[in-house]
C-alpha cells in the first residue's frame, strides 16, 4: 500500500474528506521523521518501534572526503514490529 492508497483507505474508514485524511497522514509522517531524525525512539502500542540507527555505528574513516563524511553521519530507519502486530498478521 502506498501513501495515496493509505490516504484513501483512511478517508473511507473514518468517513472523512480525502483532503483531511491527507493532512492527517502528512502530519503523522512529518512528526515521525522529525522525532526519529532528532534521535528519539517512537513506540506505537500495538504496531511497533521506530528508531534511527547509524549506517556506520563505529564511524567511518573518510580521510577528508566530504561525501564520505556526510554518508558516515547518516542514519537508517529501523522498525521492530510488536508481538501483537505479528500475532495479528500470522
Are 12 and 33 contained in the same domain?
A: yes
Are 2 and 35 contained in the same domain?
A: yes
In a domain, 28, yes or no: yes
In a domain, 46, yes or no: no
Cα end-to-end distance, the chain, whole Å:
18
pLDDT for position 62: 67
In a domain, 45, yes or no: no
Does pLDDT of 23 surpass 90? Answer: yes
Task: Report the number of distinct structural domains present in the chain.
Answer: 2
What DSSP character marks residue 59?
-
The whole domain housing 70 covers 51-83
- What are 27-65's pLDDT values in tens digits? 999 999 899 988 899 999 999 999 988 877 776 666 777
Are 35 and 2 contained in the same domain?
A: yes
78 and 51 Cβ atoms separated by less than 8 Å: yes
Alpha carbons 56 and 46: distance in angstroms, whole number: 30
In a domain, 89, yes or no: no
pLDDT for position 18: 96
53 and 76 Cβ atoms separated by less than 8 Å: yes
Amino acid at each position: 500500500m502506498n501513501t495515496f492508497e493509505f490516504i484513501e483507505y483512511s478517508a473511507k474508514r473514518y468517513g472523512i474528506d480525502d483532503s483531511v485524511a491527507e493532512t492527517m497522514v502528512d502530519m503523522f509522517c512529518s512528526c515521525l521523521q522529525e522525532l526519529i531524525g532528532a534521535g528519539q525512539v517512537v513506540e506505537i502500542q500495538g504496531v511497533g518501534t521506530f528508531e534511527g540507527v547509524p549506517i556506520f555505528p563505529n564511524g567511518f574513516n573518510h580521510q577528508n572526503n566530504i561525501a564520505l563524511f556526510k554518508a558516515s553521519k547518516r542514519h537508517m530507519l529501523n522498525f521492530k514490529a510488536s508481538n501483537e502486530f505479528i500475532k495479528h498478521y500470522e
